Amino acid sequence: MPRTLDDARRWTRLGTELFLGAVGTGSDEPSALPGWSRAHLVAHVAANADALGNLVHWAATGDPTPMYASPEERAQGIERGRALPAAELAAWLRHSADALDKGMAALGEGEWRARVVTAQGRTVPAAEVPWLRAREVCVHAVDLATTVTFADLPDDFLLALCDDVVAKRSAAPGPAVTLRTPTAAWDLPGEGELRLVTGELADLAAYLTGRGTCPGAPVLGPWL
């Protein structure tokens, strides 16, 4: 079943709660992302809320407001954020999340249909913004490497995530794979002999996003 705006808003709230609860106090400890501490990840998620808030502003006002001024500005913002004192970084994380939530709550039906441009250059309706945020907070809650795993995320979110990742991977070179859970299946077109990968939904979501392995599964390239 296609995801809805209400679904994405619900997943955003859940993912935000999971991320905030998983941050903890060890901001200098490593995250699950190579080369990034938890402070890097917190700064990235806080900056993402501000950036998506720019798209909400665009939709609400018609004033074109890009997510980031440039890729360099995006990276520099993360570096500045991860160097903040822990209390200031946590305050930024919460404030940016709250501001984004309030901005989205104020959009009307017509504004959700307004066209905006993502950091990857895709032109999408503003209704895509909650999904971008849900994906960000839910997956990165796992990346904090504290207590949250893909098994803690709701099945309907994991199904939507697998749909999204498969669509993106299908447009890029890679191995041919059929993925099956007890209740769902996806096909990744690609090169070489078709490989069958089976597992629980959470395991396949982790595998597809580059955050886990499955028995006999081929190595996949970057997702985003």
Please answer whether residues 43 and 78 qualify as being in contact, where contact means their C-beta atoms are separated by less than 8 angstroms.
Answer: yes
pLDDT digits (tens, 9 = 90+) for 72-117: 999 999 999 999 999 999 999 999 999 999 999 999 999 999 999 9
The enclosing H or E element of 205 equals helix 201-208
Question: Domain segments of the chain: what residues?
Answer: 5-148, 166-208
Which residue, 58, 45, 48, 50, is CA-closest to 123? 58
Query: Helix, strand, coil: what percent of the chain each, to 5?
Result: 55, 10, 35
pLDDT digits (tens, 9 = 90+) for 163-217: 999 999 999 999 999 999 999 999 999 999 999 999 999 999 999 999 999 998 9
Hey, which CATH number is domain 5-148, 3.40.50.2000, 2.30.29.30, 1.20.120.450, 1.10.4030.10?
1.20.120.450
- The rounded distance, in Å, linking the Cα atoms of 135 and 114 is 21
Which pTM was predicted?
0.96
Straight-line distance from the first to the last Cα atom of the chain, in angstroms, rounded to the nearest whole number: 24
Q: What are the start-end ranges of the H helices in 28-182?
A: 38-61, 71-82, 86-105, 109-112, 129-143, 155-170
